[in-house]
Amino acid sequence: MRGAAAIVGVADAASPTGELELTGRALEAAVIAEALADAGLTLDDVDGVCHSTSSMGLAEYLGIHPRFTDSTMTGGSSYEVHAEHAAAAIAAGLCDVVISVYASTPRSDRRRGRPPMRPNLMGPNPMLEWEAPYGLRMPMGPYAMAANRHMAEFGTTSEQLAQIAVSTRDWAALNPRARYREPITVDDVLASPMQCSPLHLLDCCLVTDGAGAFVMTSAARARDLSRPPVLVLGAGTCHDHSMISQMPDLTTTPGVVSGRNAFAMAGIGPGDVDVLMGYDSFTITALLHLEDLGFCAKGEGGAFVEDGRTGPGGSLPMNTNGGGLSYTHPGAYGMFLLVEAVRQLRGECGDRQVADAEIAVAHGSGMVLSCMSTVVLGTEAAA
């Protein structure tokens, strides 16, 4: 599978106001059209569809009849899983051109009084029985527990977590479409209202409208298209719980497994990564990724980030679009990781461009640290 498929088109929609005009399928269709145009392909070329709620509903709306379909829903990591599955399907010859799309508009839904999207929970739901009575605020409560345990076990501090928000905001300052661009300090984070201890408001991701899409095809076909191909060099996924009370170890995510497998397939190590797009639903989430992907040892994430090395000019550029903390976070942010990774590898990122980026990692985190999915992307030169 290594190098067999390439992302050839991307698009995302976000706004400094946090709101978008379109919503629902219309917004999905708009970013699909933009991603296909970016690739130099049309809807007629598409024979594979991924969607985290209903690939059938989307395909029907678009009027296409795909021969590869994937409705995998793993929360925010769904889009990394889609990329993994799409690359495998293309490598196996099941299909030729796959699209994946995401759109959610919680911010304007609230203002316009649109009913929030409530996905049907299928099957038994032990959460109702064993967690819901205890009033854990979702989604921040489970992450707060992970941060609490990490602090107790390893001495991680609120200041260290805050530095992740600060470095990420420094990246957002370089992104004209980011929701928040004003620089912040560690003190600002610590002074922001406590939500679920030990997480402050500025440790938490935004609630904004947003949408994105990618188009993937075979590496052979990619070489005939308009943009430089961004090859899928490796991918891996793992989940080890669904609800937080069943997570085996709150300081170690299944990203250990997804990352190890993705890096092994790509034949790279952490030192080869030029850009890390690590899902930052909360500051603690990003810190756990750094440890679990092997950028530092378990327990050393706090010390690793405190010199600002994940910010602009640092040795490990992380979340260069400004992340879920400062760019956009509509609820399932994984698509934006892939879009930014692709743009960095194509050299399209303007003021925030990482020089000579050849390998980028999109590491999605879904539900409550439940499902991790890692995609290693590279330029032709890196392959």
Partner 1 sequence: MSGSSRSDESTRPARLEPPVTDASEPFWEATRQRRLMLPWCTACDRPFWYPREVCPRCLGSAIEWRAASGRGEVYAHTVEHKPVMLKAVFGDEPYCVALVELDEGVRLMSNIVDVDPLAVEVGMRVSARWEPMSDGRHLLLFAPEGPVA
The span from the CA of 211 to the CA of 188, in Å, is 29
Residues, the chain: 383
What is d(CA 378, CA 216) in angstroms, rounded to the nearest whole number?
Answer: 14
Nearer Cβ to partner 1 (17/197): 197
Catalytic annotation, residues: 279, 327
Minimum distance of partner 1 from residue 153's CB (angstroms): 8
Q: Is 379 helix (H, G, I), strand (E, B) or coil?
A: coil
Least distance from partner 1 to the Cβ atom of residue 243, Å: 8
Tell me which H or E stretch contains 98: strand 97-104
Q: Which two tokens stand for residue 351?
A: 């003021």
67 near partner 1 (CB under 8 A): no
- Asked if 134 touches partner 1 (CB under 8 A), the answer is yes
Pick the closest to residue 333 from 50, 23, 12, 2 (CA basis).
Answer: 12
Closest to 271 in 3D by CA, of 358, 346, 343: 358
Strands 275-278 and 199-200, bridge-based pairing: unpaired
* Interface stretch with partner 1, choices 37-45, 55-63, 125-133, 341-349 (CB under 8 A): 125-133
Q: List the one residue out of 161, 150, 164, 157 whose CA is nearest residue 247.
A: 150
20 binds partner 1 (CB under 8 A): no
Radius of gyration of the chain (CA): 19
Of 117, 197, 269, 350, the residue at the interface with partner 1 (CB under 8 A) is 197
- Stretch binding partner 1 (CB under 8 A), from 53-61, 108-116, 132-140, 293-301: 132-140
Rounded to the nearest whole angstrom, what is the least distance from the CB of residue 136 to partner 1 in the complex? Answer: 5
To the nearest whole angstrom, how small is the minimum distance from the Cβ of residue 161 to partner 1?
14
Contacts of 343 (CB under 8 A, 6+ apart): 10, 349
Instruction: Kindly tell me which of 244 and 277 has the beta carbon lying closer to partner 1.
Output: 244
Strands 359-366 and 68-70: unpaired
Q: How far is the CB of 300 from partner 1 (least distance, A)?
A: 19
Unique residue bearing structure tokens 């925030």: 352
Contacts with partner 1, 224-263, as mask; x by CB under 8 A: --------------------xxx---x-------------
| Contacting residues for 348 by C-beta, under 8 A, at least 6 apart | none
Using CB under 8 A as the binding criterion, the count of chain residues that bind partner 1 stands at: 31
Q: Please, what is the minimum distance in Å from the beta carbon of residue 35 to partner 1?
A: 38
User: Does the footprint of partner 1 cover residue 131 (CB under 8 A)?
Assistant: yes
Give 215 or 244: the residue with its C-beta nearer to partner 1.
244
Binding flag, residue 132, partner 1 (CB under 8 A): yes
Which residues sit at the interface with partner 1, rule CB under 8 A? Answer: 124, 126, 128-137, 141, 144-146, 148-149, 152-153, 193-199, 244-246, 250
